[in-house]
Structure 1
Amino acid sequence: MKLNYLTLAVALGLGLQGCSLIPDFSQPKAPIESAWPQGPAYKAEKDTAATSLLWKDFFRDPKMQRLIGLALDNNRDLRVAALNVQAYRAQYRIQRSELFPSVDANASGSRQRLPADLTTTGKSGIQSQYGLDVGISSYELDVFGRVRSLNSAALETYLATEQAQNSIRIGLIADVAGAYLTWQTDQSLLEVTANTLDSYTKSLGMIESAQSEGTSSALDVRQARTLVDSARAQMILYTRQVAQDANALQLLLGANIPSDLTRGLALNADLLRDIPAGLPSDLLQKRPDIQEAEHRLLAANANIGAARAAFFPSISLTATAGSASSQLGDLLKGGQGSWSFVPQINVPIFNGGRLRANLDYATIQKDIGVAQYEKSIQTAFQEVADGLAAKGTYSEQLQAQSDLVQASQEYFDMAQQRYDEGVDNYLTLLDAQRQLLSSRQKLLSDRLLQLDSQVQLYKALGGGWEPSAPESNLVKN
């Protein structure tokens, strides 16, 4: 079987891969300052070199690490994101296949009886035809780079989807950590409220006894009862919040909270690793959402090349080579060779402005991509700046709140002593009790806000600038 013509057709098709009409890409200038904000809310620190910080190094509570690992294995949103990456990878491979001709082998056979008045001999008979061909069909010669432009766009879309998966992964880690810290804080608030309710109940009992002895008034009893009822309401509130926190955490995990999971480290423990404030602002380029926006911008830029190429003639090629015979046994004998070569050129003449509209649309999509890329950088800068402001102020706020708790405790102790000695009425003690409970609850809430701000700063910096797998390994298969 002679395949000279088929080989020539394939060589011609591969040899005519021509120019690319994709516009030269220049990365838009980041619309942010070259340094982080400065002012009273920010601590002045020297620039620090960016180093890898994995989530297991940042989150130090073993219980929190266990829950994050469980979520990374079972969360359904992350699973969907991973499947989307595989789907877009398959679409890229489909698009890439159009760069090469599809070679097919075809074997056929037919037998047909014809009546006498339809044959050239004037006699009825049976005609047979057998064939064996190898060929290519409708292969577009990418002279002006249309197919390669579409291939580049598919590749960038696939890489953007991969970065989207990384964003979801980092967001999941931060969400699990935040949900766990909220759960722990509400449990602590429930304990504080329960202990306070027990103290209020004992005080109420003592005041009721004093009233029966005539040393306390009915007003004192009612004032004490308001504390008890208020604490009871708060206790029910925190009981509900603890249950809802567990439900929210379980949804993020995608699995049940382990039954053997006990309380983690105390909220005032060293739960999170400190992030230096002097990190360079160009570290934002490592954020997955920014890299995703850049890949989508590159895909839009490649689509402009495909839209431009549509204005030029397209050349497609169909060619086959093989053998044909009226006898099956003679099919592979010499002299039975057959071939066909059908090149086709299509020149756009009039299409009602469709090609121009497609080019305008592709150009507009690129402009949209530039705006989205710049907005992603601005958003990232704002999130990190907010995190640095929180980092620079929460320590002093917590210290001030801790001092308030200490002062409230001393105020309560003095008010209790003066009430027991009959110097002050119960109203002063009532105020001291309320202030002490409120300051304790506020201290726990502020500690949660501080921890959450650290988690959000870790997320804003791209998940601790954890390195991802090289893209070159992802596009070869």
Structure 2
Amino acid sequence: MCLKSRLFDSHSSRADKPARRAASPASRKQRSVPGAVLTAVTMVGAVLATAAMLAGCANPAGAVAPSHSLMTPAQVGASASASSTPWPASDWWRGWGDPQLSGLIDQALVQQPSLQSVQARITQAQAAVDAAGAARSPQVNASVDLSDQRFTKTGIVPPPLAGAIRWNNSAQIGASWELDLFGRQRAALDSAIGQWRAAQADAQAARVLLAGNIASTYVNLARLIDARALSQQALQQREQTLALVRQRIVAGLDTNVELRQAEGFIAQTRVELETLDESIGRTRHALAELAGVGPNALGEVTPQLASVTTAPLPAGLPADLLGRRADLVALRWRVEAALKDADVARAQFYPNVNLVAFVGLSSIGLDRFINAGSETFGAGPALRLPIFDGGRLRANLSARNAEIDVAVDGYNAALLRALREVADEVTSLQSLERQQRSQADALQAAEAAFDLATQRYRSGLGNYLVVLTAETNVIAQRRAAADLKARHLNAEVALTRALGGGYQQQIAQQPESKASA
């Protein structure tokens, strides 16, 4: 149930009132246009005063209020002292010194379909902003209605129209403007702007994610190609060992057992090469998909990552991360949008005031439509106030307040996850640097042991089992070193992405929210 009041000062056409000739001359007196406008202005003032008084009757009390608050950097242990660490550049991949990688990422950022769909969502959000802004402007429309109709004999229409068939005509231009006295339309516009800002941040987050995924896939391709090179090296090494075993068999130092073992390891290595070729092909296809091209468009791309340098690690959890992570910025804007949606729901409790005016022609009979006396006009305010709705508005406000808590919780969870990602990758990089130093020592020792075992075996002092053990160990250490290199590069990519991937929110776009209070 709602209270509706429509106070209208209007002038109607004389051409459609032939039955009112018996009325008194005073009742047929027409107001002048200035007089009508003055009366309408007076009524507007009266309606505004009434709205101010009735606003006190609106009662959103009883709605469930939002109870959650945004986490601050201090609450999660972020430190301003860590902000001195150099942040990643927006084109951080160029620092890896591989033109192929730069070309792939540049190409993907232009033509990847997933990014194009994100851009479409920005356009959609912009349209919502435009629609919300348009609702705050005066609305003007026009209508024309020409109908040949029979008037009833048993209704309120008196003779000579009763039972007659006449043209009933009207043409009208109308205008209306809702006075945003309680901020409902402003809040709706702010909510749409918040969603638009969130869509923009989502687009940047998608770009960061895509660049990181391409770099990670590129590193994985480099790892597989390195592994294939090591397997090819192992194949050559085992073929040399097989030749040595055959020489020892001729000399009577070995048997066919050692020969069959050496041949078996060669066959096993060839299987490894085929498996790696399959993985390399599939990884190239995945890289092409990420770049937004067909699976065979990249050809035999081979990574060249020898000049990658390690980025400096942050000394702690940087407080500036909140404005450097596009996903956090998007969630922050969604909190703002949820707050404004609650303001819209709250404003529904208060009076809605519209100013309406029209001017046009109206007549019964087509021949009178454009004659003098067919003009009609009117102007005045309209007031609407909800009185009883069974709790619908209160439930709607409670739902919007709950959405605030959901948005706040989503932001807080993402903030904790972002800080954990930074801490994890810093820990991994520090550990990987130590592992690589130890692995270099292990590889050096394994290669020395293999050389000694081979020399002793060639001179007849050792046996095949010692050579086989040393050979297996040196191959394993080489593969471990290559894997650590790839893990280090992937950790570099992950840390760059965790630090925002070069995104930086503009200060003017930083939302201010009472949810953090």
Taking structure 2 as the reference length, the TM-score comes to 0.77
Structure 1 residue 467, shift from structure 2 partner: 5.6
Q: Using the alignment, how far apart are the partners of 1:350 and 1:61 within structure 2?
A: 69
2:273 paired residue among 217, 228, 235? 235
Partner of 1:40: none
Q: How do 1:301-340 residues align onto structure 2 when only pairs under 5 Å count?
A: 301-324=339-362, 336-340=374-378
Residue number among 245, 267, 273 corresponding to 1:207 in the alignment: 245
Tell me which amino acid in the other structure corresponds to 2:319: D
In 2, Cα distance between equivalents of 1:392 and 1:185: 20
How many residues matched?
Answer: 458
Q: Which runs of 5+ in 2 are unaligned?
A: 1-10, 12-31, 511-517
Moved more, 204-213 or 359-368: 204-213
Q: What letter is aligned with 1:106?
A: S
Which consecutive unaligned segments of at least 5 residues does structure 1 have? 38-44, 473-477
Partner SS state of residue 345, structure 1: strand
Give the number of the structure whose alpha-carbon radius of gyration is greater: 2
Question: Which of 417, 424, 432 is equivalent to 1:386?
Answer: 424
Encode CA deviations 1:315-349: one digit per residue, 9 max, x unaligned.
34543123445687976776543113464433323
Q: Aligned equivalents of 1:457 and 1:379: distance in 2?
A: 13
Shift of 1:6: 8.7
- Structure 2 letter corresponding to 1:87: Q
Q: Deviations over 1:353-372 (max 9, x none)?
A: 22222122111111121111
- Cα offset, 1:192, TM superposition: 1.2
In 1, the alpha carbon distance for the partners of 2:199 and 2:329 equals: 10
What code does the residue aligned with 2:432 have? Y
- CA gap of 1:215–1:53, structure 2 versus 1, over 3 A, is same
Paired amino acid for 1:72: L
> Is residue 236 of structure 2 the alignment partner of residue 198 of structure 1?
yes
Matched residues in 2 for 1:329 and 1:229: separation?
A: 103
User: Which AA in structure 1 matches 2:448?
Assistant: E
Residue 92 of structure 2 is matched in structure 1 by: 55
Deviates more, 1:302-311 or 1:324-333: 324-333
Contact 1:6 1:321 in 2 (8 A): no
- Which residue of structure 2 lines up, in the alignment, with residue 429 of structure 1? 467
Other-structure match for 1:162: 200
CA distance in 1, matches of 2:258, 2:33: 108
User: What residue number does 1:105 align with?
Assistant: 142
Determine helix, strand or coil for the equivalent of 2:127: helix
Deviation at 1:444, TM superposition (A): 0.9
In the TM superposition, residue 172 of structure 1 has moved relative to its aligned partner by 0.3
Name the stretch that deviates more: 217-226 or 340-349: 340-349
Amino acid at match of 2:121: N
Please state how far the C-alpha of 1:206 moved relative to its aligned partner: 3.4
Does the 8 A contact of 1:49 with 1:280 survive in 2? no
Contact 1:50/1:279 (CA < 8 Å) preserved in 2? Answer: no
1:67 aligned residue: 104
SS of 1:347 mapped into structure 2: strand
Partner of 2:319: 282
Q: Does 1:81 align with 2:118?
A: yes
Using the TM superposition, give the Cα deviation of residue 469 of structure 1 relative to its aligned residue in structure 2, in angstroms: 10
Report the alpha carbon displacement of residue 284 of structure 1 after superposing the two structures with TM.
0.8
Secondary structure of residue in 2 paired with 1:339 = strand
Question: Does residue 72 of structure 2 align to residue 29 of structure 1?
Answer: yes
Q: Deviations over 1:101-160 (max 9, x none)?
A: 3111234444557799988348997744554422135x5433222222222222212211
Q: Is 1:134 equivalent to 2:167 in the alignment?
A: no
Contact 1:178 1:455 (8 Å CA) reproduced: yes
Equivalents in 2 of 1:274, 1:298: separation in Å? Answer: 35
Partner-residue secondary structure (3-state), 1:282: coil
- Of 438, 458, 462, the residue aligned with 1:420 is 458
CA 1:270–1:90: 2 relative to 1, 3 Å: same
Structure-2 separation of matches of 1:78 and 1:326:
60
Offset of residue 453 of structure 1: 0.6
Matching residue of 1:264 = 303
Q: Is the 8 A contact 1:130 1:331 kept in 2?
A: yes
How do 1:452-471 and structure 2 match up within 5 A? 452-466=490-504
Q: In the alignment, residue 152 of structure 1 is paired with which amino acid?
A: D
Q: Distance between the aligned counterparts of 1:208 and 1:162, measured in 2?
A: 69
Q: Which residue is equivalent to 2:189?
A: 151
Secondary structure of 2:319's partner?
A: helix
CA deviation digits over 1:228-257, x for unaligned, max 9?
233223222212211121121122112036
Q: 1:464 to 1:352 in 2, by over 3 A?
A: same
**Letter matched to residue 72 of structure 2:** K
Q: Kindly report which structure 2 residues correspond to 1:7-46, keeping only aligned pairs within 5 A, or say none.
A: 28-30=71-73, 31-35=75-79
| Cα distance in 2, alignment partners of residues 442 and 64 from structure 1 | 24
Q: Residues 449 and 183 from structure 1, CA distance in 2 versus in 1: closer, same or farther, beyond 3 angstroms? A: same
The CA deviation at 1:437 is 0.8
Where 1:321 maps in the other structure, the secondary structure is: strand
- What letter is aligned with 1:448? A
- Does the alignment pair 1:451 with 2:489? yes
**Structure 1 contact 3–321 (Cα < 8 Å) conserved:** no
Letter paired with 1:203: T
CA deviation after TM superposition for structure 1 residue 60, in Å: 2.8
Shift in CA distance, 358/123, structure 1 to aligned 2, threshold 3 Å: closer
> Would the aligned equivalents of 1:314 and 1:346 in 2 still touch at CA under 8 Å?
yes
Amino acid corresponding to residue 264 of structure 1 in structure 2: P
| Aligned match of 1:298 | 336
Question: AA paired with 2:307?
Answer: D
- Deviation of 1:396 after TM superposition, in Å, equals 2.6
